[in-house]
Amino acid sequence: MTLLSQLRDRLVPPPMRPVPAFMTDFLSAWGFRAVCIAFRNGIFDSLNVSPKTPAVLAEETGIHPGGMALLLDALNCLGYVREQHGRYENTAMTSRLRETVKLGVPYFEKIVFRDWEHLESQLRDGRGVRPVWFGGDWKIFQNGMVSLAQMNIDEVLRRVKINRSARRLLDLGGGHGLYSIAFCRRYRRLGAVVFDVPQVEKIVTTTVAEHGMQDRVKFRAGDFFTDELDPADVVLLFNIIHSKSEAENLELMRRVYETVEPGGTVVLLDQFPSPKLGKVGYTYGSLMALSMFSAAGQRTYQGDEVRNWFTKVGLTDTRFVPIRSAPGNALVIARKRG
Ligand SMILES: C[S@@+](CC[C@H](N)C(=O)[O-])C[C@H]1O[C@@H](n2cnc3c(N)ncnc32)[C@H](O)[C@@H]1O
């Protein structure tokens, strides 16, 4: 090393390096666990009513005061709460998303801390679990779906333009029914059938009743691979393909093509492991692939794979539409010729 380069190394600071990924990943894992504890103990709900000192929150939750102080400090760093004059309050982000995230937390917590206990051995064996949906825990599962739906539903409605003459929407694997309800609200002459397994009937009918949409949104129990499907002008396939094999998906597309009326629209929503969806979106699509492998022995697909299935069965005018409000998600929209 020359004297000159030694001098330069002393005088010029090394260039700033981005934080290494493993560092942010460790912090995210820790942070998520802290956030789960906060949600479970109603800390954000309580702060939504009024700002509080750690002592008051400790009393309310039964968490030791010293422990509460540490937890609040961590939540402060993570951007969930902020401290002013010894009292804590929710940040704007927490106030805005609290209700939505609260529904999704038990769902992600179960996946990350219980289901993924088995991921390593599943990856070794090359076999994930075929779904008994969410170990039969329907409420946690559907609440997770509701949480995701609440994040993207406004944008989905903005991006999907359906023909004003459309009268019948078929929501295959429609789960909670919120997408059907939203489409029917937006298109006044539309009626919907939420087609799903019998176990979700009560969740759907309760949600539909809460929205006062019993006249226009009906539930039908069945298996969309084997039972007859209702003819429709619009078919939704939201968050379905990632739990099915390629062969099953192609078969499902065939059935959809048969049931959609000429001139009708097919709308698919899913997560895609694609760099086209940006860094966060690509990461979500890829981690979702691992999650679906673990839960159902399947994966997420590429937009072009969906386009090929659509083309094979005869659907045309396929468009891939990223959903920005939920990174990693995109719509694939196609038409049956009139
Ligand atoms: C991931 S959830 C999606 C729920 C909703 N579409 C959404 O996007 O929020 C998948 C849904 O498909 C349903 N499903 C899966 N396989 C099915 C089948 N063969 N027949 C009917 N429903 C099915 C599940 O019961 C579940 O409610």
Q: pLDDT digits over 20-64, tens only?
A: 899 999 999 999 999 999 999 999 999 999 999 999 999 999 999
CA of 140 to the centre of ligand 1 (A): 14
Q: In whole angstroms, what is the distance from residue 162 CA to residue 169 CA?
A: 10
Predicted pLDDT at 137: 79
Provide, rounded to the nearest whole percent, the portion of the chain with pLDDT above 90.
87
Ligand 1 atom closest to Cα of residue 236: 6
Closest residue CA from atom 27 of ligand 1: 175
In short, whether 197's Cβ falls inside 6 Å of ligand 1 is yes
Residue 154, pLDDT > 70, answer yes
Instruction: Give the pLDDT band (50/70/90) at residue 18.
Output: confident
CA of 138 to the centre of ligand 1 (A): 11
Predicted pLDDT at 183: 98
SS3 for 247?
helix
Candidates 3.40.50.1100, 3.90.1170.50, 3.40.50.150, 1.10.3720.10; CATH matching 116-335: 3.40.50.150
CB atoms closer than 10 angstroms to residue 251:
16
Predicted pLDDT at 3: 59
Tokens 């176990």 sit at which residue? 199
Report the mean per-residue pLDDT for the chain. 94
Q: In whole angstroms, what is the distance from residue 221 CA to residue 311 CA?
A: 29
In short, whether 177's Cβ falls inside 6 Å of ligand 1 is no
Q: Say which residue, 325 or 19, is predicted with more confidence.
A: 325
Predicted pLDDT at 132: 57
In short, whether 145's Cβ falls inside 6 Å of ligand 1 is yes
The amino acid sitting at 119 is: L
Instruction: Give the pLDDT band (50/70/90) at residue 322.
Output: very high
CA 112, 113, 118, 120 torsion: positive or negative? positive
Q: Are 300 and 242 in contact (CB under 8 A)?
A: yes
Ligand 1 atom closest to Cα of residue 146: 9
In short, whether 264's Cβ falls inside 6 Å of ligand 1 is no
Q: Which of 157, 205, 236, 239 has the most ligand 1 atoms within 8 A of CB, as the residue to mutate?
A: 239
Task: Considering the chain, tell me which residue range(s) the CATH 1.10.10.10 domain(s) occupy.
Answer: 16-90
Predicted pLDDT at 135: 57
Mean pLDDT of 161-190: 96
Predicted pLDDT at 227: 98
Q: 16-90 has which fold?
A: Arc Repressor Mutant, subunit A (1.10.10)
Closest residue CA from atom 16 of ligand 1: 173
CA of 47 to the centre of ligand 1 (A): 35
Task: Considering the chain, tell me which residue range(s) the CATH 3.40.50.150 domain(s) occupy.
Answer: 116-335
Residue 312, pLDDT > 90, answer yes
CA of 195 to the centre of ligand 1 (A): 8
This prediction has a pTM of: 0.92
CA of 76 to the centre of ligand 1 (A): 37
Q: Which of 111, 132, 145, 249 has the most ligand 1 atoms within 8 A of CB, as the residue to mutate?
A: 145
Residue 22, both tokens: 């493993």
**Among candidate residues 232, 193, 196, 195, the one with its CA nearest the CA of residue 213:** 193
Residue 172, pLDDT > 70, answer yes
Instruction: Give the pLDDT band (50/70/90) at residue 7.
Output: low
